[in-house]
Structure 1
Amino acid sequence: MTATVSWPAIAPVPDTPPCAPPARRPDGGWTLTRYADVRAALTEASCRVPVADPGAPGTLSWLRGTVSRFSPPERHPARRSAGIAALAAVDPGELRAEAARLTVAALEAAAGRLDVAGALARRVPVRALASRLGLADADAAVPAVTVVAAAYQPGADAAAAHRADRAVADLVSLAPPDPPEVLANRIGLLVQACDASAGLIGAGARHLLPPPDRDRAAVPGDTTRLLAEVLRLDPPVRGTRRVTAATVRLGGVELPAGTGLLLRFDAANRDPAVFAEPDMVRPDRAVPALTFGAGHRGCPGQRHALALAIGVLDVLRERCRRAPTPVRYEPHPLLRVPARLEVVAR
């Protein structure tokens, strides 16, 4: 039997949809919100990621068209293997220690008050990972990766894509010389870690640090176990997209080929049919959240992402409390990344 941590419930973000049967959208696509339906779409071979067209070498479109994230089924295994091979040389324990060291340094330089979003959430994970992936200047990689991440999803405006072209070129110059697919997937690991890690660190800081009215109290529990529930209840990536390549039956609905699917992790992670007391923090749940995906497209860097976030949050939990200022979030339909989240030294 699992124990409920003695916190208030973590309510859903206001625009999180309820768990319900598949719902048709005005654009003709469908939204999936139930755990079983979302997991089925993630693991069904006929539900495919939208593919990005390749572009000129060293540009944003080249990166999108070469990373495993946006690859067609026939190219995905080799490209994913390139990313996994790069991560295999990176020890999660060393990442955690480096993230903690960088966090301590940032706190000591901040003189008692620090904005987690601006000083830690993107900078620490990208810098720690870049140095271990062999980039020549990890500090220079941070702003370049941030620019690319802002335009990474297809549909970015022309100005953001132009800035990202320059940033991709910078990252290519910093990375070790490798064949194009290996190089792109090395850079892709950094880009995919950027906003997702920032959102995870932001959620952890918001929910695991003592609130302003409990400045001398500690939120109980081990960071690693608690973070799994924070990841479920306030996921940094709230959903993802798929397109059906053949007729598929999901949630009792027959969906023809070419149907766009929006898979809502934030709703599925609170499905009462799967998670008893879905809004409560219960670190020993047997069923995992879907935030890192599932199946052969699941996130290959889950252990590394968690290690980076835990390294930051262990230090913040030991030394800080949340400041009595509101937490603001960046505007984005599917990412939940804080724009400002202040902490103060205890």
Structure 2
Amino acid sequence: MSDRVPLIPSAPDTPACGPPRLDDGGFWSVTRHADVRAVLTDPCFRVPEAAPGAPGSLAWLRGTVARFSGPDRHPARRAAAVAALAGCEPDGLRRDAARLTAEELDRVGGRLAVSPRLARGVPLRVLAARLGLADPAAAVPAVTVVAAAYQPGAGPVAVRRADRAVAALVAMHPPGSPEVVANRIGLLVQACDATAGLIGAAARYALAAPPSVPTAALLAEVLRLDPPVRGTRRVAVRAARVGGQPVAPGAELVLCFDAANRDPTVVTAPDRFAPGRSVLTFGAGPHGCPGERHALALATGVVDGLRERWSTTVTRPDHEPPALPRVPTDLKVMPR
């Protein structure tokens, strides 16, 4: 396969791999594989916690999901998400995604934009149906609106739109405790951009690879070379050291998955496409993604359908803002 897909350069703004560096913005940039893993698994560093909000609002969702919870609330909230995923068997997700992908491809006779209908629409419809939402198709635009404002820093207009979308998703959801409902909706929101980015990157690279290479192997290497989530943040709760550097309490750190996945001390020929390498994209430690197998199953169902019947026509797509998720905006495919 390396003869067909020999090199995949990093994005132009991927930081170089090196010792932790205090950037001009006042946060530490962590780029080496060992340093990123160490921070993810060290209790000295925690996720930035979200304040609670009015029930049914975006602030309520962020303040109740495991993703933004501290160590006192995180285990119970993560358990709610894991319990929800227990009813979403990965093989079933893959089959459902493959079926919906085939239906979408049958509807079009020419060039098709990957991102809106396939990369976002198919995985979210499948997951929403498995989670028991009353209208999986209507959940897709609502989840997309919430995902656009999910990270801190969204403007007031985006937040108001997200508030309405969260309320709509709560109304679609089966009855349950606030923590159960929030964390089930959180699964959809976290899957939205991450899975869309993975499918978009896979469509860009995997359709050029030999058909003998399994899609699962292709996706694993795409996760390393062009991760849909480029990094994550942590805050130091007490004095610590990272990569030999002293980090003060309260310091913010940005863990750069895109750089760490290409660390030459861990990966030989880091720009070469060769499945089986070490990947940090799903995180590690207490906040490691609980839906890794499920996301890969959904992406596999979509990409399998594309590989069987379609080929790429755009090789250098733009990407949606913001910076951390990487979701192609104009990647198009056409029948073989």
TM-score (norm 2): 0.98
Shift of residue 253, structure 1, vs aligned partner: 0.4
- The match for 1:239 is 231
Please report how far the alpha carbon of residue 197 of structure 1 lies from its aligned counterpart in structure 2 after TM superposition.
0.4
Matches within 5 A, 1:304-319: 304-319=294-309
Number of equivalences: 336
Q: 1:300 to 1:324 in 2, by over 3 A?
A: closer
Does 2:326 align with 1:328?
A: no
Q: 110, 113, 117: which one pairs with 1:112?
A: 110
CA displacement at 1:64 relative to structure 2: 0.2
Gaps of 5+ in 1: 211-216
Instruction: Give the CA deviation at 1:6.
Output: 3.9
8 Å Cα contact 1:223/1:314 also seen in 2: yes
How far apart are 1:57 and its partner, in Å?
0.3
- Percentage identity across aligned positions? 61
Structure 2 residue 39 is matched with structure 1 residue 41:
yes
Which residue of structure 2 aligns with residue 125 of structure 1?
123
Which amino acid in structure 1 is aligned with residue 247 of structure 2?
L
- Distance in structure 2 (CA, Å) of the matches to 1:336 and 1:89: 28
Map 1:121-160; keep pairs closer than 5 Å: 121-160=119-158
Say whether residues 1:282 and 2:274 are aligned partners: yes
Alpha-carbon deviations, 1:70-95, whole Å to 9, x = none? 01110000000000000011111010
- Note the alpha carbon deviations across 1:221-277, whole angstroms, 9 max, x for none: 111012101100000000110000011111000101100000000000000000011
What is the rounded CA distance, in whole Å, between the counterparts of 1:49 and 1:140 in structure 2? Answer: 31
Distance 1:184 1:324 in 2: 38
Whole-angstrom distance in 2 between the partners of 1:329 and 1:85? 33
Tell me, yes or no, if the aligned pair for 1:5 and 1:281 is still in contact at 8 Å. no
Question: C-alpha displacement at 1:340, in angstroms?
Answer: 1.4
Runs of 4+ in 1 over 2 A off after TM superposition: 3-6, 217-220
Residue in structure 1 matched with residue 183 of structure 2 by the alignment: 185
- Aligned twin of 1:51: 49
Scaled by the length of structure 1, the TM-score of the pair is 0.95
SS in 2 for 1:340: coil
What is the alpha-carbon distance in structure 2 between the residues aligned to residue 6 and residue 167 of structure 1?
43
Shift in Å, 1:110: 1.2
What is residue 333 of structure 2 aligned with on the other side?
A: 343
Written as runs of structure 1 = structure 2, the 5 A alignment for 1:220-239 is 220-239=212-231
Matched, 1:259 2:261: no
CA distance in 2, matches of 1:343, 1:197: 18
Contact 1:5 1:282 in 2 (8 A): no
Cα RMSD after superposing both structures: 1.3
Q: Distance in 2 between matches of 1:284 and 1:31?
A: 26
Distance in 1 (CA, whole Å) between partners of 2:133 and 2:201 is 28
Q: Deviations over 1:127-154 (max 9, x none)?
A: 0000000101101100100000000011
Cα deviation, residue 118, structure 1: 1.9
Letter in 2 for 1:334: L
Gaps of 5+ in 2: none
